[in-house]
Amino acid sequence: MSTLAHHYSDVPTQLPSGCEIGAVLEREEPRDALVIKAGRKPCRIEDLPKGAVIGTSSIRRTAQVALKYPHLRVQDVRGNVGTRLSKLDAEDGPFDALILAAAGLIRLDLGDRINQYLDSKNGGMLWAVGQGTIGIENRSPDERVQRTLELVDHHETHLAIATERSLLRTLEGGCSAPLGVETAWVERDDGQKALNIKSIVVSTDGKENCEIDMTEIVKSKQDAELFGINAASELLRRGADKILAEIKAKKPTTVADLEEK
């Protein structure tokens, strides 16, 4: 076997020795999605009534809901997408809505269930590192395979994801950290294209948080690595170290506790 394809949000920030990500496909849909119980009037997360119950298994989403929407309740929900939707739509079920990765719904031809795409401008919630992206892992060095993978690599996506992963790696947060990111390519006043990254670290109860919004010119993987380190350093300077230390002290011990769907 020469290559493996991964949902990039599931790939550890430290790969095994002798392996590397040789290509990243163009990012699909990185945002989270709000899904309302079937038969209910469509609405946005901002419009859900006090006490409404949102289902998610993600610490990141739970923390951001607690921060932005303290009047809402969050309840754990498990299973694949179909199982979760069945639990949502059950007449006697506890859930009023779910938050899921939009890309997963779209891949399963369930995009019509999406009531709202969530991002910094809509709902105020940021996505997971690598979300909505396929990464291709290969052995290194293998020049023949690397040349082939270059044909499918999407350069801008690769650099954006490399920046996100560098930030996460520097924070040593792992998939259990309530860390949200949002990256976008923007044009600066001087006409040069640059990468903007927004990121937030939130305590699990939503009572403490720190945020950044930074833009840098990123032309290479080395640039991306440095930008991620600088972004993480700024988060740490603003208090992320304290938040993450408290979370690590309560670190979950099972794979299920780290689930991010």
What positions carry a catalytic annotation?
10
Q: Which amino acid is at 57?
A: S
Residue pair 157/30 in contact by the 8 Å Cβ criterion:
no
Spatial strand order in the sheet of 193-202: 179-187, 193-202, 209-216
* Maximum pairwise Cα distance, the chain: 58
Strand partners, 194: 186
On the 0-12 / 13-18 / 19+ scale of CB atoms within 10 A, 112 is: exposed
- By DSSP bridging, strand 209-216 and strand 3-7 are unpaired
With b for 16 or more beta-carbon neighbours within 10 A and e for fewer, the 12-48 pattern comes to ebeeeeeeebbbbbebebbbbbbbbbeeeeebebeeb
